[in-house]
């Protein structure tokens, strides 16, 4: 099968990021003609002029629609794309020059209808962005599920760096209205439809993620809140590992209280050893003492935000059987 790529980019109030992404796409070494579809999701700071500046460099089209969320915007773009294989990126990504060539080579060697790639921290990123990148990708924090070769589970592509065939998109109907969580939901439905997914390690992107601790905490808390909802929709995917951040937080609290009031220090020592390992591993990866210690802060925020978000949603959805869309309306977009 001849693969024809269409790049889909949903964007909301981030024209500067779109400029960086499009610039990186224009520098690809891949010789084929690649279509780029930018979908403006009801922005008040539109990227129309930015897109227009690339008309002579890229085969690019621009659509403006009402705000219905990133998942529906990706679907909107895929419905209008002319290619038969869609490459989906968040607007805060930058592609290395060889990205498209690596994807094409990998699909030619072993075709799948859906793939994902890892992310990395670009040299231009702030120290906080680099620390957050470590926390979200390290084996010691996530088990490698966000794009490492040693992932502890079957690989689930993430929508910041994801490819899906036209056939798989049409069979599944694309992304749902939940956000975040729309990418694992789609991946599970892709599996149910009989398609395979895989990781292409060489297809990495530079992903900026959140630029402040507050925004990062909000993001990971939402990640925790959507997981019990996904477990309800897809019960066979529920795993005890999703409880680890929650148990980690309660374990740390109990360890501190045990050390203060009962002089039992072994659990707290265990946590200290883990934190030291985080700093040392982050130092190995980032080559910066400052970023290594910032990574420890990022890991703590990640576990705290996800863990409490997961617990709150579990109590609401699993214990009290509340309707997720009514209980957590901010996690859902309406068409």
Fold of 5-117+157-209: Spore Coat Polysaccharide Biosynthesis Protein SpsA; Chain A (3.90.550)
CA dihedral 161, 166, 167, 170 (to 10 degrees): 100
CB atoms near residue 150 (< 10 Å): 7
pLDDT score for 152? 44
Name residues whose C-beta falls within 8 Å of residue 31's C-beta, 6 or more positions apart in sequence. none
Both tokens of residue 233? 């929709």
| Partners of 198 in the β-ladder | 115
pLDDT score for 153? 56
CB 198 within 8 A of CB 107: no
pLDDT score for 146? 55
DSSP string, 117-186: --EE--TTS-HHHHHHHHHHH-HHHHTTTTT-TT-SSS---BTTEEEEEHHHHHHH-S--SBSSSHHHHH
Of 130, 151, 138, the closest CA to residue 200 belongs to 151
pLDDT score for 4? 97
Nearest 5°: phi and psi at 116?
A: -140, 160
Domain ranges, ordered by start, for the chain = 5-117+157-209, 123-147+212-335
CB 139 within 8 A of CB 153: no
Name residues whose C-beta falls within 8 Å of residue 23's C-beta, 6 or more positions apart in sequence. none
Cα angle 153, 159, 160; round to 5: 110
pLDDT score for 194? 97
pLDDT score for 88? 98
Of 132, 272, 271, 264, the closest CA to residue 206 belongs to 132
Residue by residue, pLDDT tens for the chain (335 residues) are 799 999 999 999 999 999 999 999 999 999 989 999 999 999 999 999 999 999 999 999 999 999 999 999 999 999 999 999 999 999 999 999 999 999 999 999 999 999 999 988 888 899 999 999 999 999 999 876 555 554 445 789 999 999 999 999 999 999 999 999 999 999 999 999 999 999 999 999 999 876 799 999 999 999 999 999 999 999 999 999 999 999 999 999 999 999 999 999 999 999 999 999 999 999 999 999 999 999 999 999 999 999 999 999 999 999 999 999 999 999 999 87
DSSP 8-state code for residue 97: T
């Amino acid at each position: 099968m001849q693969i024809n790529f269409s790049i889909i980019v949903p964007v909301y109030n981030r024209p500067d990021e779109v400029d960086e992404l499009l610039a990186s796409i224009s520098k690809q070494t891949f010789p084929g003609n690649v279509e780029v579809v930018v979908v403006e999701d009801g922005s008040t700071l539109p990227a129309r002029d930015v897109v227009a500046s690339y008309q002579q460099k890229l085969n690019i089209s621009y659509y403006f629609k009402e705000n219905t969320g990133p998942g529906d915007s990706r679907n909107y773009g895929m419905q209008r794309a002319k290619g038969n294989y869609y490459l989906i990126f968040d607007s805060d990504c930058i592609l290395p020059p060889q990205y498209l060539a690596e994807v094409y080579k990998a699909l030619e060697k072993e075709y799948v209808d859906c793939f994902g790639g890892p992310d990395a921290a670009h040299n231009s990123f702030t120290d906080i962005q680099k620390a957050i990148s470590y926390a979200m990708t390290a084996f010691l924090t996530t088990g490698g599920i966000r794009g490492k070769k040693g992932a502890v589970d079957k690989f689930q592509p993430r929508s910041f760096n994801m490819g899906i065939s036209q056939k798989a998109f049409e069979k599944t109907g694309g992304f749902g209205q939940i956000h975040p969580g729309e990418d694992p939901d789609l991946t599970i439905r892709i599996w149910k439809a009989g398609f395979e997914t895989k990781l292409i390690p060489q297809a990495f992107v530079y992903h900026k993620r959140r630029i402040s601790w507050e925004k990062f905490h909000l993001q990971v808390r939402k990640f925790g809140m959507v997981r019990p909802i996904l477990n309800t929709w897809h019960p066979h995917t529920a795993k005890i590992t999703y409880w680890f951040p929650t148990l980690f937080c309660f374990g740390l609290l109990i360890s501190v209280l045990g050390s203060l009031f009962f002089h039992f220090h072994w659990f707290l020592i265990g946590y200290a050893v883990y934190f030291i390992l985080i700093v040392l591993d982050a130092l190995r990866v980032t080559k910066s003492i400052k970023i290594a210690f910032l990574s420890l802060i990022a890991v703590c925020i990640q576990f705290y935000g996800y863990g409490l978000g997961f617990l709150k949603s579990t109590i609401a959805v699993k214990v009290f059987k509340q309707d997720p869309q009514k209980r957590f309306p901010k996690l859902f977009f309406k068409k």
